[in-house]
């Protein structure tokens, strides 16, 4: 979600939409409730990632040059795996704990930003 990787999700959930639609047509029931499995599926799998990515993007839009430099300093410290999780907006609890363990300065900074009411 952070790097416009939407094509991957479009393909995946296009297939889900096709399956749900096909099942609905075969059953003769094509009302909203018959198509609801599609909605539940994509929301369960990626809605939180989309929301998280949106928050990061909103934050980045308002950064000054100095703040961008600070962000890049943090990003430079990430391992390749951590960076990929970040780009995929994979902010699950286990990844957040792993980041906090490997990058305590980042965890402390984010904590103080939360306390101060910053994103």
Burial (CB count <10 Å: 0-12, 13-18, 19+), residue 53: buried
pLDDT for residue 85:
79
pLDDT digits (tens, 9 = 90+) for 27-77: 999 999 999 999 999 999 888 888 887 888 888 888 899 988 988 888 888
- Every domain of the chain and the residues it spans: 1-47, 63-119
pLDDT band of 13, cuts 50, 70, 90: very high
Rg (CA), the chain: 19
Whether 71 contacts 82, CB under 8 Å: no
User: Average pLDDT for residues 98-109, to the nearest whole number?
Assistant: 78
pLDDT of 4 > 80? The answer is no
Q: How far apart are the first and last CA of the chain?
A: 18
């Amino acid at each position: 979600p952070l790097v416009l990787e939407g094509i991957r999700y479009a393909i995946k959930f296009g297939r889900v939409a096709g399956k749900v639609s096909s099942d609905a047509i075969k059953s003769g029931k094509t009302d909203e409730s018959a198509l609801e499995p599609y909605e539940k599926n994509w929301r369960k799998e990626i809605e939180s990632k989309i929301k998280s990515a949106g928050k990061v993007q909103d934050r980045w839009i308002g950064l000054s040059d100095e703040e961008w430099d600070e962000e890049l300093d943090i990003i430079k410290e990430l391992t390749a795996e951590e960076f990929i999780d970040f780009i995929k907006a994979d902010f699950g609890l286990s990844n957040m704990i792993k980041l906090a363990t490997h990058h305590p300065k980042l965890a402390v900074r984010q904590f103080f930003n939360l306390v101060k009411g910053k994103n």
